[in-house]
Structure 1
């Protein structure tokens, strides 16, 4: 089996929605309660790719997971900080696909001069059939550190859940940071470099 990591396009919306569907309908990992339409998801992809990377993992030609970055805040001073999100197909979990995707995303963001990664993670009071602490533990394993918790801030499946923020710095914080290279510009100027980054992440 060959794993390939590549940039997502709007044409991938249908496949990505089907991966996301499981998490909306059967888990509290996302607090979204209704599966978005393909067109709505296509618009989300389009909006993300205006500035940020949106990557997919393909296994033998089929998308088995995706990861993307979005702004932590839209004000210019926050350019060096992003929020990260990842989803792996339910039937493809346990194959390190999430790790490959996150490594590819980190390498890409580093090339863009992004420094701070932030993750907004659903968290239960006690693990149940809809939500465990696996995401928190997984991000801690990747080097994220806990920032804070919002208590009982989300209601899904007839119960209240918490939300935590975790953060990770992938570079030093210089006195004067280099301007961020937005993803379309990175692809245009360094397309071969992007492909090398993603290939390396899939091989690590």
Structure 2
């Protein structure tokens, strides 16, 4: 997509981000959330994420096309060198390169922080149905992620049980005396 820019998300993007996310909640198992969060909740989530991790939007001519962000993996200090990723693209724009560009920007920002491994938690059907297919797993595999685990029948939505898989990707070598990661605001030069 030409003229598309990747930039940091702001609270002012919350309504557009919510409108992208809402169809995923309401008619898919790509997210296991049941209720679409409010604009205020999205603003809170953006601010909370940006305290330590990057949160990006793809924008073209003032329109938000998708968003991607990172967060802690598990949340204990020993896991600081790993991050969990999430990405959502306007469903009318899937397979047009928006997600790939968002992830490239996100992975580069995480490398600069010192993150070594990234993981994605992905809803996974036994067989594709009207709520979930294999597209997310295929997207991640195309970007070099590999399956690292499966939880069978762990998510219940639309009166059906779904699997959840984890896919992971290594970004940098693991060292014996690994330096601490730097929060994303510090990487950008903010204190």
Structure 2 matches for 1:105-120, cutoff 5 A? 105-120=106-121
Q: CA deviation at 1:135?
A: 0.8
Q: Distance in 1 between matches of 2:72 and 2:147?
A: 19
Query: For 2:70, what is the secondary structure of its paired residue?
Result: strand
Query: For 2:188, what is the secondary structure of its paired residue?
Result: helix
Q: Distance in 1 between matches of 2:113 and 2:71?
A: 13
Query: For 1:188, what is the secondary structure of its paired residue?
Result: coil
Q: Does 1:138 align with 2:119?
A: no
Structure 2 matches for 1:1-204, cutoff 5 A? 1-188=2-189
Q: CA deviation at 1:14?
A: 0.7
Q: Distance in 1 between matches of 2:137 and 2:93?
A: 20
TM-score (norm. length: structure 1): 0.90
Question: Which whole-Å deviations, capped at 9, do the CAs of 1:151-175 have from their partners, x for residues lacking one?
Answer: 1111111111000111110111111
Q: CA deviation at 1:94?
A: 2.1
Q: Distance in 2 between matches of 1:133 and 1:96?
A: 18
Query: For 1:162, what is the secondary structure of its paired residue?
Result: strand
CA-based RMSD of the aligned residues comes to 1.3
Q: CA deviation at 1:187?
A: 1.6
Q: Distance in 2 between matches of 1:133 and 1:91?
A: 17
The structure with more helix, counted as a fraction of residues: 1
Q: CA deviation at 1:176?
A: 1.6
Point out where structure 2 has 5 or more consecutive residues left out of the alignment. Answer: none
| Consecutive aligned runs of 4 or more in structure 1 exceeding 4 Å deviation | none
Point out where structure 1 has 5 or more consecutive residues left out of the alignment. Answer: 190-204
TM-score (norm. length: structure 2): 0.96
Alignment coverage as a number of residue pairs? 190
